[in-house]
């Protein structure tokens, strides 16, 4: 379904920013039996709402297709685990949570965050639509409802007396088709003195660092604080505080409470910074689109030069952003030999569109490709540390964004 109005405010004043063509679903990793079957492709077009400044794609792939069976498990990333432990420990101390509290998380994945709260003696409830992942969360002791979070589910929970002292939504608001229903649900399920902690990739970082590969069909929206404030205010909520965090290539962490709370200086300062940056100005985004084209030319030239000199090149990270980069720039089996990934549920499958096979990282030390194209560049420090032996033996990484660089 193609949207013609803003997902947040309903305005029809949408400015076309960038078209990445028609691409396969980024997380639809293929089995060998599926290689000869047609792959569904969907338009990937980015627009700016000139009314509320929300940046968004226009195509909505049904959530049942995208999320009911999912191959992304947060616990495979040491970075994500450390991020979760630091945040949960801090929130428990700041909010003085205990055995009488309740922490709810939407899109709770395999329970990687809520498990920290449990270890600290705080009751939790996960809500995770991917049934295969919800089972894993339950197995680790995290109570999980295998459904999508929305206003209806929130009403049910509130009616049962299960209102959240803390509500978490991490890297989920970008995935939500019914934005207003989701945020209305937060307002309903959040305790009167509760706080919602929401993290979403920051559109300013995406634009400034040319992180175009974070655009794929699961990511419907790309948020500024300006756009978030308008969305939350519409549902009787207010942004009390904001932080910028490094996760996912640069994200906003907003602390949201019921209306009436006074925003911190961090909120007013960042809103002013976005206004000065030009958060609602089409020219800013048009320049980004031009830079994406230039990046493709630069990366293609780098890879072609290495291949011409006889270099072998593999890739690290069967990530969704990697699927976007490979398909949009046409990088496939003619350039790369294979992809490696630490996630055991991805190994043995193939990247969508380009059909590169995914192997475990141990293959690198056996075959020693000369270069590794780092598709999961947001985890660069973690991955390079894990592959210290590969680098010690002379292997080198190619980091594709914001500028193709060999390290």
Q: Tell me: the pLDDT tens digits for 52-66? A: 999 999 999 987 777
The domain limits of the chain are 66-283, 284-406
> What are the backbone angles phi and psi of residue 25, rounded to the nearest 5°?
-70, 130
Share of the chain above pLDDT 70, in %: 98
Residue in the block written with tokens 């801090």: 90
Residues 90 and 239: their CA atoms lie apart, in Å, by 19
Helix ranges (H only) for 73-130 are 78-95, 114-119
Give the per-residue pLDDT at 216: 95
Look at residue 315 and tell me whether its pLDDT is greater than 70.
Answer: yes
Cβ atoms of 286 and 46 within 8 Å: the answer is no
Say yes or no: do domains 66-283 and 284-406 share a fold: yes
Look at residue 390 and tell me whether its pLDDT is greater than 80.
Answer: yes
Maximum Cα–Cα distance across the chain: 67
Topology, domain 284-406: Rossmann fold (3.40.50)
Residue predicted with more confidence, 23 or 130: 23
Residues 124 and 157: their CA atoms lie apart, in Å, by 13
225-261: burial string, b at 16+ Cβ within 10 Å, e else: bbbbbbbbebbebbbbbbeeeebbbbbbbbbbbbeee
Predicted confidence band of residue 336 (pLDDT cuts 50, 70, 90): very high
The whole model's pTM is what? 0.92
Q: Which of 143, 157, 149 is nearest to 189 (CA)?
A: 157
CATH of 66-283, one of 3.30.70.1070, 3.40.630.10, 3.40.50.150, 3.40.50.720: 3.40.50.150
Between 65-79, 332-346, 390-404, the lowest mean confidence (pLDDT) is in 65-79
Give the per-residue pLDDT at 79: 78
Look at residue 219 and tell me whether its pLDDT is greater than 60.
Answer: yes
Residues 210 and 372: their CA atoms lie apart, in Å, by 20
């Amino acid at each position: 379904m193609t949207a013609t109005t803003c997902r947040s405010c309903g305005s029809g004043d949408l400015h076309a920013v960038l078209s990445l063509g028609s691409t396969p679903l980024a997380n639809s990793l293929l089995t060998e039996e599926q290689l000869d079957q047609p792959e569904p492709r969907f338009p990937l077009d980015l627009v700016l709402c000139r009314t509320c400044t929300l940046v968004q794609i226009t195509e909505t792939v049904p959530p049942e297709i995208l999320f009911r069976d999912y191959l992304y498990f947060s616990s495979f990333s040491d970075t994500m685990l450390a991020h979760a432990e630091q945040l949960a420990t801090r929130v428990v101390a700041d909010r003085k949570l205990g055995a009488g509290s309740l922490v709810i998380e939407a899109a709770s994945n395999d329970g990687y965050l809520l498990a920290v709260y449990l270890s600290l003696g705080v009751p939790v409830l996960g809500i995770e639509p991917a049934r295969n992942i919800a089972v894993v969360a339950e197995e680790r002791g995290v109570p999980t409802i295998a459904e999508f979070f929305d206003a209806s589910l929130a009403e049910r929970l509130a009616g049962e007396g299960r209102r959240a002292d803390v509500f978490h939504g991490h890297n989920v608001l970008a995935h939500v088709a019914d934005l207003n229903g989701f945020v209305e649900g937060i307002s309903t399920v959040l305790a009167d003195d509760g706080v919602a902690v929401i993290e979403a990739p920051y559109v300013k970082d995406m634009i400034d660092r040319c992180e175009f590969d974070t655009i794929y069909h699961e990511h419907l929206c790309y948020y500024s604080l300006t756009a978030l404030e308008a969305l939350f205010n519409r549902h009787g909520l207010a942004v009390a505080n904001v932080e910028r965090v490094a996760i996912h290539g640069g994200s906003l962490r907003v602390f949201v409470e019921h209306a009436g709370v006074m925003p911190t200086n961090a909120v007013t300062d960042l809103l002013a910074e976005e206004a000065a940056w030009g958060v609602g100005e089409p020219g800013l985004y048009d320049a980004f689109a031009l830079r994406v084209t230039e990046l493709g030319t630069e990366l293609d030239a780098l890879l072609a030069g290495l291949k011409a000199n006889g270099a072998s090149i593999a890739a690290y990270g069967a990530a969704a952003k990697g699927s976007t980069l490979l398909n949009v720039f046409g990088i496939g089996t003619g350039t790369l030999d294979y992809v490696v990934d630490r996630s055991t549920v991805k190994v043995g499958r193939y990247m969508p569109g380009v059909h590169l096979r995914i192997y475990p990282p141990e293959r690198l030390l056996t075959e020693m490709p000369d270069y590794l194209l780092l598709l999961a560049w947001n985890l660069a420090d973690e991955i390079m540390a894990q592959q210290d032996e590969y680098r010690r033996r002379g292997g080198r990484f190619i980091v594709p964004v914001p500028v193709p660089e060999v390290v």
